[in-house]
Amino acid sequence: MEWLSGLNRSNNQQHDRATSMDFVSKEKRSAIMRGVKGLNTRPERLVRSLLHKNGYRFRLHAKNLAGRPDIVLPKHKLAIFVHGCFWHQHRGCRDGRRPTSNVAFWDRKFTLNASRDKRNLADLRKEGWQTLTIWECETRDLKLLTKAIRTHLPLKRTR
Ligand SMILES: [Zn+2]
């Protein structure tokens, strides 16, 4: 698991001094304020790498599909979203904690995000796609990541 230890360490440091929005980097915060997520983020790359090692073929950021899924496996009719825990409000996850200032503003933003996510998943399923949401925190733990992917795809190689 040492491939992720650096990531975990920096993450813990961030949490130690966490108050409201301080736990996200400046770049991430401005991305959040704009309501967009960067493409090819580290969590996405980790998922792709695992799929690739297992011989799966996929497309990225399919613009023609609802919600522009991060990873699409056409052969398996599977659309994968790699969601940031903060922005998509991962329930029960410490990274999904809401800021303690500007509460009304963030409540509104998160509510909009959640309903958009829900609508995208419903639209995809209506068109016959299976959907899989992988949370950013799961990508930091190879065991959790493997488990999440295995709900939809067999994996032989896990590292
Ligand atoms: Zn999470």
The one-letter code for the residue type at 56 is Y
In the chain, pLDDT over 70 holds for what percent of residues? 76
- The predicted-structure confidence for 26-43, as pLDDT tens digits, reads as follows 666 666 555 556 677 889
Which residue has better confidence, 29 or 139? 139
Query: What token pair was written down for 100?
Result: 């303690």
For residue 89, report the distance from its CA to the centre of ligand 1, in Å: 8
Q: Are the C-beta atoms of residues 120 and 109 closer than 8 Å to each other?
A: no
Exposure string over 25-46, b if 16+ CB within 10 A, otherwise e:
eeebeebbeeeebeeebebbeb
Count of alpha carbons within 13 Å of 70, Cβ hemisphere only?
Answer: 25
Percentage of the chain with pLDDT > 90?
Answer: 69
**pLDDT per residue over 60-90, tens digit each?**
988 999 999 999 999 999 999 999 999 999 9
Q: DSSP per residue over 43-84, as a string?
A: HHHHHHHHHHHTT---EES-TTSTT--SEEEGGGTEEEEEE-
Q: Which of 33, 49, 35, 43 is nearest to 82 (CA)?
A: 43
**pLDDT recorded at residue 33:** 58
The string of pLDDT tens digits covering residues 89-103 is 999 999 999 999 999
What are 97's two structure tokens? 């904690």
Q: How far is the CA of 63 from the centre of ligand 1 (A)?
A: 25
Which letter does DSSP use for residue 137 in this model? H
Neighbours of ion ligand 1 (CB under 5 A): 85, 90, 93, 95, 135, 137
**Cα-to-centroid distance, 84 and ligand 1 (Å):** 7
Residue 5 tokens, joined = 């230890």
State pLDDT tens for residues 12-28: 444 443 444 556 666 66
Delineate the domains of the chain, giving CATH numbers in brackets. Answer: 2-150 (3.40.960.10)
8 A C-beta contact, residue 141 and residue 132: no
Looking at residue 95, the DSSP 8-state letter turns out to be: G
What's residue 70's pLDDT?
95
Question: What's the mean pLDDT in 118-128?
Answer: 97
